[in-house]
Amino acid sequence: MLLIAGTIRLPAENVAAARDAIAAVVTATRAEDGCLEYRFAEDVLDPGLIHITERWRDRAALDAHFGTPHIAAWRAAGTTLGIGGRALTLYDVGAGKAI
């Protein structure tokens, strides 16, 4: 299983305008084969900081994700919204277990 964790940053005044684009990419991505989790969360103490968590079945599913129309649309919207400060890390992990 692959885990991606990290953050993106956008101007705090653009957070509300980003919600529709975020909802679209999250909804479409969650429907993809191999997507186990895909979540964006706004930091309550740092306006404009968005935490991202993704879990993927395997590299093939993640690679397919990068080629989807909704990722292309998200990247285009990101330019308009001023998204920057992208800090995402990919981890290759086991299945995990509840603690």
* DSSP track, 52-79: EEEEES-HHHHHHHHTSHHHHHHHHHHH
Residue 41 exposure: Cα atoms within 13 Å on the Cβ side:
12
Q: What's the predicted TM-score (pTM) here?
A: 0.91
Residue 99 is predicted with a pLDDT of: 81
What are the C-alpha distances in Å from 69 to residues 24, 64, 66, 73, 74? Answer: 11, 11, 9, 6, 9
> Is the pLDDT score of 86 beyond 90?
yes
- How far apart CA 92 and CA 10 sit, in angstroms, is 28
Per CATH, domain 2-92 is 3.30.70.100:
yes
Q: Which residue has the higher pLDDT, 60 or 98?
A: 60
> Is the pLDDT score of 12 beyond 80?
yes
Residue 95 is predicted with a pLDDT of: 75
Average pLDDT over residues 48-68: 97
Q: What percent of the chain has pLDDT over 70?
A: 100
Structure tokens, 91: 């981890």
